[in-house]
Amino acid sequence: MTLNWAKSKKLIAAPLILILATVTYTLKSTSEDEASTSYIVNAKNSQALQQAFNKLGITPTHHLSLIDSFAINLTKSQLILLEADVAISITKNHQVELAGWAKGKRRWQPSADANLLIEADKAHKSGIYGENVTIAVLDTGLDQLSGLSKDLRGRDKVWGTYDAINNAVFNFDREQNGHGTHVASLAVNSDFDINGRIYGIAPNAALVGIKAFDSEGKSTYADVIRGIEWAVGIKDKINLRVLNMSFSGPAQSYYWEDPLNQAVMKAWQAGIVVVASAGNGGPDPMTIGVPGNIPYIITVGAMTDNYTPSDKSDDKLASFSAAGPTIEGFVKPEIVAPGGHISGLMAFDSAIVTEHPEYHDGGRYFEMSGTSQAAGVVSGAVALMLSNNPSLTPDQIKCQLIASARPAINAQSQLAYSVFQQGAGVVNVADALASDTSCLTTTMDIAKDLANEQHYVGPAFIDEQGNFSIKDGGDFYSWKVNEEVLNGDGFIWRTSFDIDGFIWRTSFDTNTDLQWRSEFETDGFIWRTNIETDGFIWRTSVDIDPNASIKINAWVDQQ
């Protein structure tokens, strides 16, 4: 099916239920007298795995074909029998939940500041509004409020919602939480503020909801993966080019071992630009979580205009914005975007509004802070880029966003924040649309990564003073983590400052038995890549927390 955007007032997003047939999965309890736990199971011999399931009399709750896995409930005894019967890779089906929202001062007259801050208004003046691009928001669902349901020409633009929890498609959704609607509105809201400015970054982009989180903001790995799998399967039918994922959680393994990350990588490989929030665990280093720790995708941190959108001299990085590097040594986030006190759509009876009514304007707008909001802004920016040039690949989109971003530079012409905090800087849509930067020099192969043939580590390391640095990057990229950043030091978002792209393009090969060494080398904490060892001295282990959960990002103070 193709979209018809040319004719005014035409339906541009047909109901999903006319396109799709849903698939149901049989649910079967494993034992009435022994508690069971949900796992995600994979085996090289899938036929043998199915036979093992049959022998045990158990039925998967989810068939996650995107990553050749199954979600299944197993008792301890069943798990022992299954592992004895067939060689499997098994991961606990982690719980996923919303972590909260934000508080701060209430704005009675919501204004569309994000467009100005990233210069999306210049794209609008050039007639670029996001046509012919569908954005999927994997979240708590969508309320089809005015601004989300129609584009600037009054055409329907919402395809509907896929409920990954119940494996069903709905033409209309009634979201009870509010988070998903808020994030989506930052990307595509076609309403105008009191000053006549458009709220959304890409107001004519089409929208589809993927509900993987319930009304309490809770989910599981299996439901999130099923939502991603659905997005990959439907992408060509509705021209789904952008997938927004505004949640994060602590890394439980290397990026390539995590089943949720594997599904996200499959989406990127399939041509979908994945935009993930960095998380609200900042300002400490190494707080980037899943799925933002994937080196391929676009991970977004948050900045704030400090309540003065017309004065950029007092802008600052949001203190809650998670920082890199990742456990594997990659520089994250790639970019930052407005994520402080952002006004977006949210129904008055949503759960978030019920908890924090003082930040609702009494109508349809709610003020909220977080990297979730920053990711929504960037998803809209990506839609503008793809609308302007549909031939762009996910890698090209990422590189052009990085190349055109504006880093915060202080009066001494040094980075006001390290690349591990601000990435390449704040996104600038106008410059991104004019960029022709490519990623031809990248050394990573996502197909080999997914096939478990080759994995990668990044260029970051810790020096003997405990500072984070970039291999061959010199002092300029070093993050002295104990030094305070002076926000009032007159830094600006520079347009002519070049952050060398090598810090994102550089990667090193490793293999599946990468080890973290604890010995101290004479040249300090350094990265060893295929030289004497297959690891580097960073941490003695990857800490595994069996109770950890992925969350749609935490409620933080408004900034």
Is 372 annotated in the active site? Answer: yes
CA distance 337 to 340: 9
- The residue written with tokens 């984070």 in the block is 468
Higher confidence at residue 369 or residue 499? Answer: 369
pLDDT score recorded for residue 520: 22
Of residues 345 and 108, more confidence is placed in: 345
Q: List the catalytic residue out of 179, 356, 360, 455.
A: 179
Read off the DSSP letter of residue 415.
B
Answer yes or no: are the C-beta atoms of 161 and 202 closer than 8 Å. no
% of the chain surpassing 70 pLDDT? 75
Q: What is the DSSP letter of 483?
A: S
Whether the CB-CB separation of 469 and 460 falls below 8 Å is answered with yes
> CA–CA distance from 352 to each of 143, 349, 375, 429 (Å)?
14, 8, 19, 30
For residue 366, report the phi and psi dihedrals to the nearest 5 degrees. Answer: -130, 140
Q: Is 139 one of the catalytic residues?
A: yes
Q: Could you say which of 121, 139, 223, 258 is catalytic?
A: 139
Distance CA 30, CA 78 (A): 8
pLDDT of residue 93: 86
- The DSSP bridge partners found for residue 455 are 510
Domain 97-443+548-557 has CATH 3.40.50.620: no
Q: Is the pLDDT of residue 485 over 60?
A: no
Indicate where the chain has its CATH 3.30.70.100 domain(s).
36-93
Marked catalytic residue, from 321, 343, 369, 372: 372
Look at 469 and 277; give whichever has higher pLDDT. 277
Q: Do residues 383 and 280 make contact, with C-beta atoms less than 8 angstroms apart?
A: no
User: For residue 112, is pLDDT > 70?
Assistant: no
Fold that domain 36-93 belongs to in CATH: Alpha-Beta Plaits (3.30.70)
The residue among 167, 307, 278, 300 whose CA lies nearest residue 225 is 167
Query: Residue 296: which region, alpha, beta or left (left: phi > 0; alpha: psi -120 to 50)?
Result: alpha
pLDDT at 559: 67
Q: Phi, psi at residue 409, to the nearest 5°?
A: -120, 135
Q: Is the pLDDT of residue 141 over 90?
A: yes
pLDDT of 272? 99
Tens of pLDDT, residue by residue over 160-175, are 999 999 999 998 888 8
Tell me if the bond preceding 291 is cis, omega within 30° of 0: yes
- 62 assigned to active site: no
- Comma-separated ranges of CATH 3.40.50.200 domains in the chain: 97-443+548-557
**pTM, whole model, 2 decimals?**
0.83
Q: Is the pLDDT score of 541 beyond 70? A: no
Instruction: pLDDT band for 86, please (50, 70, 90 cuts).
Output: confident
Helix H or strand E segment including 262: helix 259-269
Q: Which tokens is 501 given?
A: 């792209």
540 Cβ contact list (under 8 Å, min separation 6): 516, 517, 518
As a dihedral over the C-alpha atoms of residue 377, residue 212, residue 348, residue 344, rounded to 10 degrees, the angle is: 0
pLDDT of residue 441: 52
Q: What is the pLDDT of residue 471?
A: 74
pLDDT of residue 31: 42
SS3 420: helix
Return the structure tokens found at 399.
């590189």
Read off the pLDDT of each residue in 320-345 and give the average, rounded to a whole number.
92
The pLDDT score that the predictor gives to residue 20 is 46
Beta bridge partners of 299: 276
- Residue 532 pLDDT more than 70? no
Q: What's the mean per-residue pLDDT of the chain? A: 79
Most confident of the following: 73-77, 147-151, 251-255, 469-473: 147-151
8 A C-beta contact, residue 39 and residue 79:
yes
Mean local confidence (pLDDT), 11-25: 46
Q: Count CB atoms within 10 A of the CB of residue 317.
A: 26
Does 17 score more than 80 pLDDT?
no
Q: d(Cα 60, Cα 14) in Å, to the nearest integer? A: 32
